[in-house]
Structure 1
Amino acid sequence: MKKLILGLAIISSIFTSCTSSNDETTTIVPATGEITGTYTTSKTFAFGNYTLKGIVKIASGVTLTFDAGSTITCNKTTGDNALVVLNGGKLNINGTETQPVVFTEVSAIPGSWGGIIMYGDAPINAIGGITTSTSEDGNALPYGGTNATHNGGSLNYARVEYAGSKLADGTKELNGFSFYSVGSGTTLDHLVSYKGADDGFEFYGGSVSLTNAVSYGNYDDSYDWQDGWRGQLNTNWYSYQVVKGNFGIEIEASNNNNAFYPKVNKITLKRAAGCTPEVAGDIQIDAIQFKKEGNGDFNDVIIDGYGIYTEGTTTYNGAAVKIQDATTNTNQVNGNKIKLTNVKISNTTQTTPVGATSAITVAFPSGQFTTAVSSTGSILTLGNWATVSGVNLIQ
C-alpha cells in the first residue's frame, strides 16, 4: 500500500509539472531596424517594427522576405521613400489574415511615399506597339520583355497606406501598388491599398493576376491599367471611394487594338455619398471607363453610388460604364472585346453603357452586357488584414 501511495504521488507530481509548463506564455519581442539602400544579398525580416528610408531596391537575384505581423514605416520628412523590386529580384510578404504586413507613413497623409513598385520582363504593348518602355514612376527604368511567367515573389496579406507621392522630378505620382510588366509566376493575394493620393493598384502591361484585393479611399482610380495588361485569373476586387476619387476602374490599352484582354471575376465598386473628383473641373465620376482601346471580360459586378455630382452650376451624371472615345467603341465594344456580364447597379444615374459625348452611340452586341439582381460582387473574408484603426474597410 505504501508503494502504491508513493507511485500515485510521483505520477501526480509529473502531471502537475507538465500543466505548469503548458501555462507559461512566451513573449516574442518585435525586432527593429532600418531598411535602406539597395539589397544585393537576400534577407529575411523577422516579425518586427522597421523603418524604411529612401528608395529601397531589391536587386536581381535577391529575395527580401517579411514575416507576418511586421510593420514597416517611412517618414516623408526624410525625402523620397519607396520599396522597389527590380527585374529579377523577389519580394516575399508572408502576412496572414490576423497578422498582415503593413507598410505605412508616420504622418498618415495620402501621398506621403511611393508604395511598392515591382518590375518584371513579361510582355507589354505600349504606345506605338513597342514591347519595351520606360517607367513613369520617377525611377525611369526599362520594363517589358518576353517572359510571361516572370516571378517577382509572393505578396500575401499586405497593406500599403498613404502612398501616391511624387518622386524624383515631381512630375509623376505613384500608386499603392505599381506593377511594371510583372509576370504570371508572381502571387498577389489579399492586398490592401489604403488612402493613397493616386491609384490603388496599377498594371503596366504584364500577365500577373490579382486576387482578393481592397482599394479604399484612394484619390484617383481604384484599379487602373495600360500597356496591354493581360492577367487572366483575377477575382474578388473590392473598391470603396470616399472623400476624393475618380474612376472605380480606368481601362486603356495604350491605343493598341489587342487581340487579348484581361479577365476579372467578382468585382464590387462603391462610391460614398459626397465623394468628389480628385481635381475640381476634371470630372471623372464613373464606375468603369474604357478608353484608348481598353477592353476586358468582367463577370459578377456590383456598382453602387455613382450618381449625380454638382460642381458650381453644372450637374454631372455618373455612369456605370462609359466609353471615352469613338475608336474604343468601334474596335472594342462592337468588336466583342469588352464583356460585362451579371452586373448589378444601384444608386447610379446612367445604368446603361454610354459614350463620353453624344457623338458616341454605345450599343453592346447581344450577350456582351447583361445585368442580374442576384450578383454578389466580391466575396472577401473580414479580418485584421482589411481593418484600419478599428474600421472595417469592407462595407
Structure 2
Amino acid sequence: MDNIKLGEKAGTNLTELDREKWGGLLILGNAPTSTGDGDKVGQIEGIPADEPYGIYGGDNATDNSGTLCYVSIRHGGALIGEGNEINGLTLGGVGSGTTIHHIEVVSNLDDGIECFGGTVNIDHVIVAYQGDDALDIDQNYSGTITNFYIIHGGDTDEGMEIDGPEGSTYTTGKFKFIKGTVRSNDGKGSAADLKSKAQGTIENVAFVGYTTFAKVSASFNTDCTDKKDAYLNAIGGDLVVKGCEFVAATDMYRVYSSSACLPTDYQANLVNAWAANGNTKPAAATKGADVTAFKSWSWTDIKGLIK
C-alpha cells in the first residue's frame, strides 16, 4: 500500500509501475448517451450486469453530478469480477452541469479516464502510465476536454481511443479535445485510435515520441462497399484533426482496416481531406498542454515525470 502520510502529497514506496492496488472512481449521470439502437441508458463497464446501481444515461444534457476538482487517482484498476476492470475515472452519462477540473490519474491498470456518452466538460487533466488507454471516449461523448497531458510507457495501448455513437439515439453530438500533449517515453504504443464512427475535433495537440501516430479506421460490408466509420467521417468533415504537431513523424495519420477490402487510395484521400488543417511534423513540439496547471499538486509533477 501507499505509505503516504496525512499532510503529504505523495508517498515514497510506489512508482509509476505499481497498479491494481484498489478499484477506481465512477460517476454516473442522466445525460444523453448512444448505447444502442433505441436505448437511452446503459450498464456501466466494471459493474456486474445484475447490479442496478450501474445504470447511467438519460435525456438531460445539463445534468449536474456535482463537483470534482484537484483530485489525484493513483495505482488503481483492481478487478471486481471476471472481465470487470475499473478505470481510474469512469464517467457514464455525466452532464454539462457537472464541474470537473484539475484531475490526475496515475498508474491505473485499465484506462485513465473513460467517458461513456455524456456532455461534461473537463479541464486540466493529466494521465500517466496507464495500462490501456489514457483518454477513452465511447457512446458519442460530446463534451470538451481542454489542457491535458498524457505520458506513458510501452505497456500502454493508446494515448487516445475515440469511438462515436453505438446506436440510433443521440448521434449528432461531437467531442472536442483542445490543447494537449500526448507523449510516449519509449516510442511504443500509438498516439490515437480514431474508430467506430468517431466524430469531433482534435485541435492544438502535440504528439511526441511515437512511431505510430493517429490511426483512422475504415470499415466495409461483405461486398466491400463502405460502412460508416471514422474514415468516412474524416472525409465528410465530421472528424477533424487540425493545428496539431506530430513530432518527427513520417506519417501523421494512417488509414487501417481489419478488412481486405481497403482500397489503396484511402490513405491519400485522408491526407488530402486534412491537408489544409495546419497539422505539422516539427522536430520538436512548440504546442501542447500548459503544464503549470499541474505543478505542486500532481503526483506526476512531484515525481519529476512531466517532460
TM-score above 0.5: yes
Decide which of 270, 278, 283 is 2:183's aligned counterpart: 270
Query: What letter is aligned with 2:177?
Result: V
Radius of gyration: which is bigger? 1
What does 1:32-181 align with in structure 2 at a 5 Å threshold?
Answer: 49=6, 109-140=18-49, 141-167=54-80, 169-181=81-93
TM (norm. structure 2) is: 0.81
Distance 1:323 1:294 in 2: 9
| 1:42-69 alpha-carbon deviations (Å, 9 max, x no partner) | xxxxxx95xxxxxxxxxxxxxxxxxxx6
Distance 2:141 2:125 in 1: 17
- Say if 2:236 is the partner of 1:335: yes
TM (norm. structure 1) is: 0.64
Distance 2:300 2:190 in 1: 27
The residue aligned with 2:224 is: none
Q: Secondary structure at the match of 1:127?
A: coil
The residue aligned with 1:81 is: none
Q: Secondary structure at the match of 2:158?
A: coil
Query: What letter is aligned with 1:342?
Result: G
User: Does the CA-based 8 Å contact 2:242-2:274 persist in structure 1?
Assistant: no
Decide which of 231, 248, 260 is 2:143's aligned counterpart: 231
Q: How many equivalent residue pairs?
A: 277
Decide which of 365, 371, 382 is 2:279's aligned counterpart: 371
Distance 2:167 2:120 in 1: 19
The residue aligned with 1:304 is: 208
Instruction: Give 1:265 deviation, angstroms.
Output: 0.9
Distance 2:290 2:30 in 1: 32
What does 1:210-289 align with in structure 2 at a 5 Å threshold?
Answer: 210-232=122-144, 234-256=145-167, 258-273=171-186, 275=188, 285-289=189-193
The residue aligned with 1:345 is: 246
Q: Secondary structure at the match of 1:128?
A: coil
Instruction: Give 1:263 deviation, angstroms.
Output: 1.0
Tell me: CA distance 1:368–1:175, structure 2 relative to 1, closer, same or farther (3 Å): farther
Distance 2:251 2:274 in 1: 19
- Say if 2:244 is the partner of 1:323: no
Higher strand share: 1
Q: Which runs of 5+ in 2 are unaligned?
A: 220-227
- C-alpha RMSD over aligned residues: 2.8
The residue aligned with 1:79 is: none
Q: Secondary structure at the match of 1:269?
A: strand
| 1:17-59 alpha-carbon deviations (Å, 9 max, x no partner) | xxxxxxxxxxxxxxxxxxxxxxxxxxxxxxx95xxxxxxxxxx
Q: Secondary structure at the match of 1:297?
A: strand
Tell me: CA distance 1:194–1:336, structure 2 relative to 1, closer, same or farther (3 Å): same
Q: Secondary structure at the match of 2:232?
A: helix
Distance 2:300 2:286 in 1: 28
Query: What letter is aligned with 1:175?
Result: N
Decide which of 191, 194, 197 is 1:293's aligned counterpart: 197
Distance 2:277 2:254 in 1: 9
Decide which of 255, 261, 265 is 1:354's aligned counterpart: 255
Distance 2:114 2:40 in 1: 18
Decide which of 116, 128, 135 is 1:204's aligned counterpart: 116
Query: What letter is aligned with 2:110?
Result: D
Identity of paired residues, percent?
24
Distance 2:156 2:196 in 1: 21
Instruction: Give 1:112 deviation, angstroms.
Output: 2.3
The residue aligned with 2:291 is: 380
Q: Secondary structure at the match of 1:385?
A: coil
Instruction: Give 1:187 deviation, angstroms.
Output: 1.2
Distance 2:63 2:304 in 1: 34
User: Does the CA-based 8 Å contact 1:256-1:293 persist in structure 2?
Assistant: no
Tell me: CA distance 1:114–1:335, structure 2 relative to 1, closer, same or farther (3 Å): same
What does 1:178-197 align with in structure 2 at a 5 Å threshold?
Answer: 178-197=90-109
Instruction: Give 1:150 deviation, angstroms.
Output: 1.4
Runs (4+) of structure 1 exceeding 6 A deviation are none
Distance 2:186 2:18 in 1: 22
